[in-house]
């Protein structure tokens, strides 16, 4: 649905100095702009004059370039709605081994320290049994890395105490904190981009688990992403941000966010028509960080200002452009 500019009018005032100085020509309802071979007439030649305005602003291609104004043809675009959630990296609990002594005794030898790699079946320590006085090995049943150690040589140990924790860090859990207001927007299977906020590239995953309860202390629930970690990039304890895609759709008309401006009490997009660059009222739909859906006021194929709209808006406001109803 195309909405014309009948509701806009120019006040009788002096043009903004920036537009006057760089040669904007204004197309008036009563008199078309005078043109030369070089483009639209330079309004700067008439600096200080009071003129009655109405219609749209004319700019030559050279002037558009000077102002940083770029045009684009309206058409379909992908709107991707996301939310950001704070999170932390943890060891994959399904790939974790807690090693405890089988019998009480004295630690005779410790072979592994925190950070050491471990093979499946490898001996981490030797313990002398208090009952048989024979030594037996503490072995890991999985391959991984020692992430915790609670024994030293000569120490007395018992089956109640944990000696080592070994984690297979080729896979980690990223637990995201979900606030109450966002719980209804999340579901298992949604794509998530995990980033540390540093120079490392983001990793891609999906929500594999959504907690059925809310923590009473933090008032948040947990959304979990199981993340492959073959290079060991994602270390347990890292704070991360998870960007969850909660909705996406290709819409008939979408424009960059910078193309949408507020002029007076109207939301507008500057459109190129036979009169020049016209601030046309539009009705907005969904949006994401980059694009905004246009429901009314802009049709596929229309040429609109995709960059530089704020400059036009600022100068029109300086020139005394008023929002109102046609009379």
Strands 260-263 and 266-273: antiparallel
Q: Tell which residue, 11, 6, 16, has the closest CA to residue 314.
A: 16
Q: 233-290: per-residue pLDDT in tens?
A: 999 999 999 999 998 999 999 999 999 999 888 999 999 988 788 899 999 999 988 9
Residue 13 CA neighbour count, 13 Å, CB half: 14
Widest distance between CA atoms in the chain:
110
DSSP 281-313: E-EEEEE-SSEEEEEES--TT-EEEEE-HHHHH
Whole-angstrom distance, CA of residue 96 vs CA of residue 146: 10
How would CATH label the architecture of 93-167? Beta Barrel (2.40)
Query: What is residue 276's predicted lDDT score, i.e. its pLDDT?
Result: 82
Query: What is residue 154's predicted lDDT score, i.e. its pLDDT?
Result: 96
65 Cβ contact partners less than 8 Å away, ≥ 6 residues apart: none
pLDDT in tens, the chain (327 residues): 444 444 444 333 333 444 433 334 444 343 433 333 333 333 333 333 322 334 467 777 888 888 888 999 999 999 998 999 999 999 999 999 999 999 999 999 999 999 999 999 999 999 999 999 999 999 999 999 999 999 999 999 999 999 999 999 999 999 999 999 999 999 999 999 999 977 668 899 999 999 999 999 999 999 999 999 999 999 999 999 999 999 899 999 999 999 999 988 899 999 998 878 889 999 999 998 899 999 999 999 999 999 988 888 887 777 665 444 343
Query: What is residue 65's predicted lDDT score, i.e. its pLDDT?
Result: 84
Specify the pTM: 0.67
Give the number of residues written for the chain. Answer: 327
Write down the CATH number for the domain with range 83-91+170-243: 2.40.30.170
Cβ pair 208, 173 in contact under 8 A: no
Query: What is residue 61's predicted lDDT score, i.e. its pLDDT?
Result: 81
Q: Give start-end residues of each CATH 2.40.50.100 domain in the chain.
A: 93-167
Whole-angstrom distance, CA of residue 238 vs CA of residue 218: 19
Query: What is residue 202's predicted lDDT score, i.e. its pLDDT?
Result: 87
């Amino acid at each position: 649905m195309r909405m014309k500019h009948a509701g806009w009018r120019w006040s009788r005032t002096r043009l903004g100095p920036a537009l006057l100085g760089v040669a904007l020509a204004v197309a008036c309802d009563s008199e078309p702009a005078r043109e030369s071979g070089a483009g639209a007439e330079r309004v700067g030649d008439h600096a200080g004059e009071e003129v009655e305005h109405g219609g749209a602003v004319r700019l030559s291609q050279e002037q558009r370039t000077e102002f940083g104004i770029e045009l684009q043809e309206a058409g379909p675009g992908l709107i991707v709605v996301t939310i950001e959630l704070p999170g932390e990296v943890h060891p994959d609990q399904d790939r974790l081994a807690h090693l405890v002594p089988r019998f009480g005794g004295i630690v005779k030898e410790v072979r592994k320290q925190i950070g050491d790699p471990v093979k499946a079946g490898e001996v981490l320590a030797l313990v002398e049994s208090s009952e048989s006085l024979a030594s037996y090995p503490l072995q890991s049943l999985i391959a991984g890395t020692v992430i915790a150690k609670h024994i030293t040589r000569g120490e007395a140990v018992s089956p109640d105490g944990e000696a080592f924790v070994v984690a297979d860090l080729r896979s980690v859990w990223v637990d995201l904190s979900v606030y109450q207001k966002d719980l209804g927007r999340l579901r298992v299977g949604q794509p998530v981009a995990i980033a540390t906020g540093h120079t490392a590239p983001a990793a891609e995953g999906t929500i594999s688990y959504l907690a059925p309860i809310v923590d009473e202390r933090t008032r948040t629930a947990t959304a979990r992403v199981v993340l492959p970690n073959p290079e060991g990039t994602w270390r347990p304890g890292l704070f991360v941000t998870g960007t969850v895609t909660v909705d996406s759709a290709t819409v008939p008309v979408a424009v960059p966010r910078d193309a949408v401006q507020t002029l007076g009490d109207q939301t507008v997009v500057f459109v190129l028509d036979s009169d020049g660059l016209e601030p046309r009222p539009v009705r907005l739909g969904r949006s994401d960080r980059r694009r905004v859906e246009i429901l009314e006021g802009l049709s596929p194929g229309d040429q609109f200002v995709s960059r530089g709209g704020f400059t036009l808006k600022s100068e029109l406001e300086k020139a005394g452009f008023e929002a109102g109803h046609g009379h």
